[in-house]
């Protein structure tokens, strides 16, 4: 079920229709507003489009950094699992074939 939620971004009011809970929509809007405030505090940009683009670039960078970290953790976990399976196979070679 979609909900209509009013949020304010860069001084503009928006009605967001989303299947997310209204609290989550507000949480996302708050996050975006924080990124916009960071850009405004550290930049000379006054044009709202430039501010929005710079904030979006910052969010994109953070997302990609997090994505890469998660991928690295997944790769590391998979390597550990492969190592454990190899140890089990070498220690108990008949164990896995008996279960099949």
Question: Residue 8: its pLDDT value, please?
Answer: 96
pLDDT of residue 9 exceeding 90, the answer is yes
Contacts of 35 (CB under 8 A, 6+ apart): 55, 58, 59
Question: Residue 64: its pLDDT value, please?
Answer: 94
Half-sphere exposure of residue 61: CA atoms within 13 angstroms, side-chain side: 7
Instruction: Give me the residue spans of the domains in the chain.
Output: 3-99
User: How far is residue 56's CA from residue 5's CA, in Å, rounded to a whole number?
Assistant: 21
pLDDT of residue 100 exceeding 70, the answer is no
User: How far is residue 58's CA from residue 95's CA, in Å, rounded to a whole number?
Assistant: 51
Range with the poorest average pLDDT among 16-20, 29-33, 88-92: 88-92
Contacts of 40 (CB under 8 A, 6+ apart): 51
State pTM to two decimals: 0.69
């Amino acid at each position: 079920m979609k909900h209509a939620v009013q949020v304010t971004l860069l001084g503009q009011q928006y009605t967001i229709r989303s299947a997310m809970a209204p609290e989550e929509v507000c949480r996302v809007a708050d996050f975006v507003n924080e990124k916009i405030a960071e850009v405004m505090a550290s930049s000379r940009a006054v044009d709202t489009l430039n501010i929005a683009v710079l904030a979006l670039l910052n969010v994109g960078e953070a997302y990609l950094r997090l994505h890469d970290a998660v991928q690295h953790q997944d790769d590391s976990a998979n390597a550990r699992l492969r190592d454990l399976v190899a140890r089990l196979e070498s220690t108990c070679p008949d164990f896995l074939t008996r279960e099949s």
